[in-house]
């Protein structure tokens, strides 16, 4: 009985940021050092959605001039729509910066940008059809319509963990949601 309590406590202490639901990784190191194995409910993104997600990550990291979109893109922070990025602004990485009313998001000063989060993460990015189910990602901040969910691999702290959700329609990104843990 005492052993079971210790195991439960250890699982609670390590649950944040270690349960990766992804089945596909993209980035400089596909090994995803430090990442836990995929959860049992993980589902791979469809091949066309995976292609779009990889192109989006490449755009965020400066390896492409334009994102995989040519229609306006809805920008969200924590599941709340902040604005619409026009078609003419898609190639301007600074135009992807957004902020909710009040000027703060997840305990951070605005603006926030899914592109910046992806660019700053030097490791691999995991791709999945469903959002992760761990304590670092509040379910209320996720988009049910998201078709691709991007998370960092090798991150062991909720403070460093993030989720970028893409809504992909007809081979194009139509919405982007950034979720970050609030300390």
Rounded Cα gap, residues 64 and 105, in angstroms: 28
* Per-residue confidence (pLDDT) for residue 59, from 0 to 100: 97
pLDDT tens digits, 96-143: 998 877 665 666 667 789 999 999 998 999 999 988 888 888 888 899
SS3 for 81? Answer: strand
Rounded Cα gap, residues 52 and 4, in angstroms: 44
Domain count, the chain: 1
What does the pLDDT profile of the chain (183 residues) look like in tens digits? Answer: 333 333 333 333 333 333 333 334 443 322 233 333 333 345 677 888 999 999 999 999 999 999 999 999 999 998 989 999 999 999 999 999 988 776 656 666 677 899 999 999 989 999 999 888 888 888 888 998 888 999 999 888 888 899 999 999 999 999 999 998 876
- Print the domain residue range for 175: 2-180
* Per-residue confidence (pLDDT) for residue 94, from 0 to 100: 93
Residues ≥6 apart with Cβ < 8 Å to 146 = 131, 165, 166, 167, 175, 177
* Per-residue confidence (pLDDT) for residue 130, from 0 to 100: 86
Strand residue runs (E) in the chain: 24-26, 73-77, 80-85, 104-105, 108-109, 125-128, 148-152, 162-169, 172-180
CB-CB neighbours of 51 under 10 Å = 14
* Per-residue confidence (pLDDT) for residue 62, from 0 to 100: 95
């Amino acid at each position: 009985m005492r052993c079971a309590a210790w195991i439960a406590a250890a699982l609670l202490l390590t649950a944040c940021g270690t349960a990766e639901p992804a089945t596909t990784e993209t980035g400089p190191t596909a090994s995803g050092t430090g990442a836990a194995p995929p959860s049992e409910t993980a589902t791979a993104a469809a091949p066309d959605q995976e292609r779009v997600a990889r192109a989006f990550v490449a755009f965020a990291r400066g390896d492409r001039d334009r994102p995989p979109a040519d229609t306006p893109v809805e920008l969200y922070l924590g599941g709340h729509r902040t604005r619409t990025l026009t078609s003419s602004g898609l190639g301007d990485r600074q135009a992807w910066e957004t902020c909710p009313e009040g000027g703060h998001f997840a305990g951070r000063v605005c603006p926030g940008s899914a592109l910046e989060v992806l660019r700053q993460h030097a490791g691999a990015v995991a791709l999945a059809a469903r959002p992760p189910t761990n304590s670092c990602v509040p379910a209320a901040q996720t988009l049910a319509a998201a078709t691709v969910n991007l998370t960092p691999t090798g991150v062991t702290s909720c403070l460093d963990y993030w989720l970028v959700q893409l809504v992909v329609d007809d081979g194009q990104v139509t919405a982007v949601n950034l979720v970050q843990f609030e300390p």
